A and B are shown apart, each in its own frame.
Chain A
């Protein structure tokens, strides 16, 4: 049940309208960071306030919402945000990627390919891909305006010169539709190829007051060099519960001797595969599953 003391999905309609305008502008200029008058939310800045505001502006009562953090539906902050929308919007929630119409995520893209009927909302801590090269907003806005991305290429080049590899494993910068360099939020670079998808992708950074977007089927290129092509990497193991070899894995320490297991970070995807009879190295024996 939704709490009648607050408007549907918490934000008042004026604020939602302001956010929807920013979203539309973001979709019109793929990868461009649109400033918006972010509101104080009842959860702390840095805990998904941008994503929550974008979701609140997108939600309609018929929606079914899924919230994940690190790919999992049951991580504490995902639980907390899901509860927030259950209380303030009264929308149906689900853990099934396929059943959701709005998915709010932190740090992952679901393994299941998304469809044109879905919206994926990312929580973004630092929206500016150039921030750690240039701390000033006044400068980075100029650099984007002038499409001056040389500094980023120099940084990637220096990585290769120093380490033999591009030393960025997550929040790996991309260029959208050949124009804006964009931070895909701290998703592992394994997820970068999935940024070209059928669903609308919206990125909300509350504290930094920015919204940006990738429209469906947009071209999204991870920055690289011809001789050092981008590589979407993951732990070199199959999932120990469902046997998947194509999913992003979490490494879990399972005993005092430092023994490890690898499991899908996308808990819904892994659960479905197990339900379909897929088994991994450490799966419970079959009789337990029957």
Chain B
């Protein structure tokens, strides 16, 4: 009995401490694949979020409150994303910069919408994420229909008359991107010779590679993540298939090259023009590099999501997420490390800028 009372007293004390802390501090979070096969992106988000929070706190915080960063790990698993979202809500988080995978962001956004949490995804490009009309969903990246239409037109123009295969991994992101690319490519007058789904998470893609060889393809478009795209590209080259590999923004990680090695040479992908090279980012990029972090991929996107949210809170004069959401949509453009960003009524950025990148010799650069 005594022991039980002690435990109750201790947990009450712990609760008191944590709520006490929450009053002086404002909790925000970044959530993404911190573990699992897409952990490389989670690490990018974490790096960007940590730096953004440190910078904002050093400048006096938001509305006089210091930010506290929580990290949520969804492993890109939709079910885990929902439980992580609930956990973050339980810890009193008011804003989430995340998630990474579209398949996670969409179900998590429902939890956040109900619980009054604002969400700005740095990376989820599936149209459904903002199309479903929730008040709380924003993104600082583009959409797959924009990305896919640029990729589709590019393929139709540069590989006119060639044999194109479109592969996807059946994920919200992968299939969405593959379908948009196919639509744009067909509209521009080029039909694919093969449209095929593969199973993510495997290692042996030799059967698919032989199928590509049999179809005698010149171009392979990947709607999927870098792990599988990298493996298939590598196995294609080992088999002597020289088709050009083209992918989406998920290939923007050095891990792609680690998987392919020299086999990845010449791989093309769509991504926003390199934020590291923009004038607005120069100072932050220098500080990342001073800490030995390359602000590649989604580092600056996550930084920008938090930066824009903090500015909107300041402008709104309140942390009330619904009010902040209105301010975000109506009072742009917002200055960020990505440059000036405005949101439309759905929460999408108004001017997406997808360009083509190419992998050469272990690094990627604009085509």
Q: Is this pair of chains taken from one and the same complex?
A: no
Instruction: Enumerate chain B interface residues (CB-CB to A < 8 A).
Output: none
